Amino acid sequence: MTPVPIAGEPVVDSALARAHGLTGDEYALIERWLGRTPTFTELGVFSVMWSEHCSYKSSRNHLKMLPMTGPRVVSGPGENAGALDVGGGWVAVFKIESHNHPSFVEPYQGAATGVGGILRDIFTMGARPIASMDSLKFGALEHPRSRYLLSGVVGGIGGYGNCVGVPTVAGEVMFDPAYNSNVLVNAFCLGLAHKEQLQSACARGVDNPVLYVGSATGRDGIHGASLLASAEFDEASASKRPTVQVGDPFTEKLLMEACLEAMQIGAIVAIQDMGAAGLASSSSEMAGRGNMGIELALDKVPLREAGLTPYEILLSESQERMLLVAEKGRESELIAIFKKWDLNAVTVGRILREPRWRVAWKGKLVADIPVRALTHEAPIYGRPAHRPKSNPAACGKTPVASRPTPKEALRALLASPNVCSRRWIFRQYDSIVRGNTVVGPGGDAAVLRIKGTHRGVALKVDSNPRACARDPYLGTVSTVCEAVRNVACAGARPAGITNCLNYGNPERPEIMWQFVKGIEGLRDAALAFDLPVISGNVSFYNETEGRAIPPTPTIAVVGILEDVAKHLKSYFSVPDDLIVMIRTAAPMLTASEYNALFGSDSNEPWTVNLNRERRLVEGLVDGAERGLIRSAHDAAEGGTAVALAEACFNPHQTLGADIAGLESDPQLFGEGASTVIISATGAHLEDLRRLFEPLEVTVLGRVTGSPRLIIGEEIDQDIDDLRLIYEEALPRRLSSND
Amino acid sequence: MKWAVVQFPGSLDDDDALYALRDVLGQDASVLWHKDKGLSDAECIVLPGGFSYGDYLRCGAIAHFSPIMKSIARFAADGGLVLGICNGFQILCEAHLLPGALTRNRSLSFVCDTVTVRVENRHTPFTYLMQHGDLLRLPIKHGEGCYVAPEPELRQMEERGQVLLRYVDSDGDQSDRGNPNGSMRSIAGVANERFNVFGLMPHPEHAVEAMLGGNDGLKIFRSIAASVAG
């Protein structure tokens, strides 16, 4: 039997294929796979499954270079999310994913459904989500659209995450004109599971029933993956708003509880979220992993409205839906659990021995495709990658203005949108639900305890597009170093990486070059720290009218604390403690926030010594475990002087610091080098020196009981005054009318 | 003593309430499903925080039609102790087991923070181990926590001592700065006229361990247990 066209459908030809984002060659390949012209339904399915978003056709060859194995890796890339053994019988399941394009078109729903999607990737694995974080990039705050996008995205993240009951515990936000026309929303989630409870997305067992659970299918999100996420923006992008899905966090919460409960009875063979490309991708990918076939009866699929065509049912990206393969004969037990939670649960198909993807509707066959053609055999491109003749302008460059005094520079940096407190944002997120948050937003890394054990996990997400714009390789290396260092500053031993690689159009050789350099940087840094990359996501086509974002690899690192009580705070807490600084290289003003504010003509050469970076991280973790370090804080945007001020912002008491030996602007405000500010009792100084060898441990001064930050002759500032600048900068900027 | 925590669809802090009661305080606490009608033989019923029914329509508006709420209303009428936290407080107001209503925060945004509340009446089961004027540091996290009631009703509530907790600043004074959501008279928690039903927006179940930021919430649970023990 051959699939037949449905009355009223468009005639399929190469022009229609092109309108679906498929090239002429790709269309010819489809005809070869089928030995005939595809039906309209089949064309739609091919177009999403072969889209960049679903097939990773430009990136797959390069991603293979990443180290993905290690003694702690329980499950690497290929499943819905990676899983890492964190000890005590627990595995941490985590992943980060982009929702950039939808968030630019419709910020609230785009960000909300980004959170929803990543949550489902985690609980699909059998893990209960315990923490979320987000990496956000917006245009300059002065840009007319930025505030709308910021409040929409933050509202969406909070609206979804708060209602579903997963705390948002950390994140990062950057404002830069380079993102005026392309925001980035990368959402991370981490869950915990007992090792033996991990679920698979690999279909097995001929005749096993396929169950559809969760929300009914509507027309939202059709072609989100192919038309929205796999193409550049232009003036008409607003018209793509209907391709953005609408989230329902309440249903997500029910779905999560029902799935986690259903997983307990051992009747689920395989399970996958209906995310991008919905029913088409979840069914074909599960079958593909198991080298099985699958048969779907679309008449059984719960629909929100009558009249949806097979094309629409298969490609809908309606949220809060899962597809699962059950053990034959046990489907009624599973259905009963979903009914308890008032959710749809219906058998919509079965697993076939013959590896074909077959879809029936109203008694007719509407699609019949070899499974491998949709999954493993989707086209892969070795796209040309060339270094551009001249490095495109690094973001944030401004003409050289008059030099401020160190005091003025410190105050201006603390008020800069890229440095100042993010409280306005994270106050809108529930950061404590589920009762595990030991260190929440506002520190270097978040720390969560694992109930029933003494253990904990630390997590942080970082990116550094300015550095990546200068040098996409070194920029990625230093981004990994920063995320690893932040986790180590919490006292946790870094254990694994997930990544979200945000770039422009990969069909342009200079963008592909940035991407390849980014992969190389991620690989080399991960190898240097012995860290596996256990999951990830690639987001291409982040450009508008030919202008791409700076290369933005977003790196999230998860670390392990064997004794969570030994975690480190980022701020000073005891007067008379020594303040020491450990650096891996000399800081510079090139590509710094200082330069973004005040301009600079500096272009200093730049290297990263990974041996020294590793020593720094090992020293921090060992020092925390041995109780030699009271607090540790990483110097990021704004450099060492800003880090010293932040370390004085103890939320419980007002302390100060008296510092000497930081004299020049690069010393005070430079970035690019890894700098960590530690406080410790003087008795531990010699131990610390031995611990960090061969890195130099520089004594900068002491924590004081008086509320002033004194740095040499130039800076003598009241801490509460600086704290006010730091805390009020963002709300003030957002409520001002200019 | 025996406690029960009600689980509505969309309850989020139910596990946290159970953890506080069972793991931290060693109490006997069971779970009640919203479709249940029996209350086992609990001596205090906890309505937890969260977004019951997604907070669609209005916070707590749908949950109060759950089958279990009829049983809880009878239990309260018979003098049983009921504690509503955050969404639980909203449900109790919707069910008219407590006076007043909770509306959108003054800022129009969800707010997650730690606040200081002052104990205003110690002669209740919920404040049994506290002193008038005691300050508690408790987390809040809500979008609709602005307490409102008609002015005459507020006056009567104040006279009867039904306002058990008030938001204050770090000095312990009632002030605009210390009021995180615009609640009338800085009201953070109220009891019914019989003082056996208590609702509050702050989350005592999230303040039970020093490592997680403080344990002032224990004072409320311990008060309830001590009052039952007599």
pLDDT score for A392: 52
Which alpha helices (DSSP H) does A291-364 contain, by range?
A: 310-315, 331-340
Query: Is the per-residue pLDDT at A738 higher than 60?
Result: no
B 20-59 residues inside an 8 A Cβ radius of A? 20, 23, 49-51, 53-56
Which alpha helices (DSSP H) does A529-609 contain, by range?
A: 593-598
Phi, psi of A416 (to 5 degrees): -70, 140
At A220 the three-state DSSP class reads: coil
Contact B202, B165 (CB under 8 A): yes
Query: How large a percentage of chain A has pLDDT more than 90?
Result: 85
pLDDT score for A239: 62
* Contact call for A163 and B10, based on CB within 8 A: yes
For residue A221, which of A233, A229, A210, A211 has the smallest C-alpha distance?
A229
B111-119 and A578-583: which strand pairing? unpaired
For residue A361, which of A41, A31, A49 has the smallest C-alpha distance?
A41
pLDDT digits (tens, 9 = 90+) for A266-300: 999 999 999 888 999 999 999 999 999 999 999 99
pLDDT score for A314: 95
Average pLDDT over residues A433-457: 96
At A85 the three-state DSSP class reads: strand
At A498 the three-state DSSP class reads: strand
For residue A77, which of A58, A59, A89 has the smallest C-alpha distance?
A59
Enumerate the active-site residues of B: 86, 203, 205
Which residues on adjacent β-strands are paired with residue A632? A678
pLDDT score for A395: 43
Query: Is the per-residue pLDDT at A506 higher than 50?
Result: yes
pLDDT score for A690: 97
pLDDT score for A294: 97
pLDDT band at A76 (very low <50, low <70, confident <90, very high): confident
Contact A418, A174 (CB under 8 A): yes
**Which residue type does A219 have?**
R
pLDDT digits (tens, 9 = 90+) for B38-70: 998 999 999 999 999 888 878 888 888 889 999
Contact A428, A414 (CB under 8 A): no
Tell me the C-alpha distance between A41 and A312, whole Å. 8
Tell me the C-alpha distance between B59 and B61, whole Å. 5
Q: A531 — contact with chain B (CB < 8 Å)?
A: no
Based on DSSP, count helices (H) and strands (E) in chain B, helices before strands. 5, 11
Copy the structure tokens of residue A83: 């899983």
pLDDT digits (tens, 9 = 90+) for A296-313: 999 999 999 888 999 999
Copy the structure tokens of residue A624: 């925390």
Tell me the C-alpha distance between B100 and B188, whole Å. 12
Q: Which of A251, A426, A435 sits opposite B212 (nearest CB)?
A: A435
**Which residue type does B124 have?**
T
For residue A181, which of A469, A546, A537 has the smallest C-alpha distance?
A546
In chain A, what residues touch B23 (CB-CB under 8 Å)? 451
- Is A99 among the residues known to form the active site? yes
Average pLDDT over residues A553-573: 97
pLDDT score for A726: 98
Contact A556, A497 (CB under 8 A): yes
In chain B, what residues touch A422 (CB-CB under 8 Å)? none
In chain B, what residues touch A430 (CB-CB under 8 Å)? 110, 112, 141
Q: Which of B12, B49, B113 sits opposite A427 (nearest CB)?
A: B113
Contact A128, A102 (CB under 8 A): no
Non-local (6+) Cβ contacts of A349 within 8 A are A209, A210, A283, A294, A295, A296, A297, A300
Q: Which of B20, B23, B139 sits opposite A432 (nearest CB)?
A: B139
Query: Is the per-residue pLDDT at A396 higher than 70?
Result: no
Query: Is the per-residue pLDDT at A144 higher than 90?
Result: no
* Contact call for A342 and B206, based on CB within 8 A: no
Average pLDDT over residues A391-395: 51
Query: Is the per-residue pLDDT at A370 higher than 90?
Result: yes
CA of A611 to nearest chain B CA: how many angstroms apart? Answer: 35
**Greatest Cα-to-Cα distance within chain A, rounded to the nearest angstrom:** 86
pLDDT score for A228: 61
Tell me the C-alpha distance between A62 and A675, whole Å. 32
Which of A128, A157, A163, A436 to substitute to test the interface with B, most B CBs within 10 Å?
Answer: A163
| Residues of chain B under the 70 pLDDT cut | none
Up-side HSE of residue A10: CA atoms within 13 Å toward CB? 14
pLDDT digits (tens, 9 = 90+) for A700-731: 999 999 999 999 999 999 999 999 999 999 99
Query: Average pLDDT, whole number, for chain A?
Result: 93
pLDDT digits (tens, 9 = 90+) for A165-200: 999 999 999 999 999 999 999 999 999 999 999 999
pLDDT digits (tens, 9 = 90+) for A233-250: 666 665 665 667 788 999
Tell me the C-alpha distance between B61 and B28, whole Å. 30
- Residue in A closest to B209 by C-alpha: A435
For residues A541 and A225, which has the higher predicted lDDT (pLDDT)? A541
CA of A732 to nearest chain B CA: how many angstroms apart? Answer: 14
* Contact call for A432 and B12, based on CB within 8 A: no
- What's the whole-model pTM score? 0.95
pLDDT score for A537: 93
pLDDT digits (tens, 9 = 90+) for A343-363: 999 999 999 999 999 999 999
Angle at A9 between CA A3 and CA A10, to 5 degrees: 110
